């Protein structure tokens, strides 16, 4: 179990999971639906199964590239800790569990489950043909608020889309920062990324612009009366902005020594803090 948790970097679930909780409780506070522990459990399980399948498939598909890259050759498949066949079986199992779980939620979640899997699994192919791969990753994680909202309501709405667009821009921006570490390897291996295509300086500029868009999208729900969001939510936005700025101050084109801190720790804290203030706002409303 420890090996497979390492394979899928289970700790990184912290990036999207808080935004799934935002989508879930946004649905409860803006509609007439009532809280259900069962639906909350199903939502969490879907998040875990979807991410497990996406991450394991990415590791399976990239195993040959990972073996050649000095930074990634220690990963579980190239290091021989997990056979490639087992990683693929793990992927298929989690895909099946994801679809199976959505069947017990509602019709729309069940019908859209293959679409969601197509997005999160399809990301793994994109680095082979487009530097926009970061946006596809962002789209995959950005499905969390909309998906959680659908778990509760079974209907689409505008407010969760703002949060999904925020996640898309946020994740795309910090994935560009993460990809700075492999820009030279990607060019030599004929892989695509924004750092390898445009250089580190321009990549950081695009990352910053994406994070500006992210802030705009998290602020937009304040201008919709039915959101009911107030000063606690605004406080969360301020903390979120501060951590985004801090992240960009850590990484320079000629100094990537703090990329791990910027990518993992800072973004993990940002998502938890932001979601916490959202939930506090909802609780004290």
Nearest of 13, 22, 277 to residue 148 by alpha carbon:
22
| CA–CA distance, 149 with 131 (Å, rounded to integer) | 30
In this structure, are residues 194 and 173 in contact, taking their beta carbons and an 8 Å threshold? no
In this structure, are residues 186 and 134 in contact, taking their beta carbons and an 8 Å threshold? no
Task: Please say whether the structural domain 2-283 has been given the CATH code 1.10.357.140.
Answer: yes
Structural tokens at position 241? 């902005």
Res 247: pLDDT: 93
Q: SS3 of 236, please?
A: helix
* Residue 225 CA: distances (Å) to CA of 134, 164, 228: 33, 19, 6
Counting as low any pLDDT under 50, the low residues of the chain are none
Strand partners, 255: 252
């Amino acid at each position: 179990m420890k090996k497979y948790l390492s394979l899928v970097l289970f700790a990184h679930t912290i990036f999207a999971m808080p935004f799934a909780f935002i989508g879930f409780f946004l649905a409860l506070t803006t509609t007439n639906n009532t809280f259900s522990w069962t639906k909350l459990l199903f939502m969490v399980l879907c998040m875990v199964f979807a991410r497990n399948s996406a991450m394991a498939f990415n590791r399976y598909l990239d195993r040959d590239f990972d073996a050649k890259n000095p930074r990634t050759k220690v990963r579980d498949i190239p290091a021989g800790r997990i056979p490639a066949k087992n990683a693929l079986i793990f992927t298929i199992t989690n895909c099946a569990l994801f679809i199976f779980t959505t069947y017990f939620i509602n019709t729309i979640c069940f019908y859209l489950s293959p679409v969601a899997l197509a997005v999160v699994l399809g990301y793994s192919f994109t680095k082979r043909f487009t530097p926009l791969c970061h946006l596809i990753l962002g789209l995959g994680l950005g499905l969390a608020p909309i998906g959680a909202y659908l778990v509760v309501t079974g209907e689409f709405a505008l407010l969760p889309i703002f949060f999904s667009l925020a996640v898309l821009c946020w994740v795309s921006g910090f994935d560009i920062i993460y990809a700075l570490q492999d820009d030279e390897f990607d060019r030599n291996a004929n892989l695509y990324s924004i750092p390898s295509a445009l250089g580190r300086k321009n990549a950081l500029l695009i990352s910053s612009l994406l994070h500006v868009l992210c802030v705009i999208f998290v602020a937009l729900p304040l201008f919709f009366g039915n959101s009911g969001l107030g000063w606690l939510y605004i406080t969360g936005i301020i903390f979120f902005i501060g951590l985004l700025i801090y992240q960009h101050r850590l990484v320079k084109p000629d100094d990537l020594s703090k990329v791990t801190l910027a990518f993992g720790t800072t973004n993990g804290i940002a998502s938890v803090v932001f979601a916490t203030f959202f939930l506090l706002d909802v609780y004290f409303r």
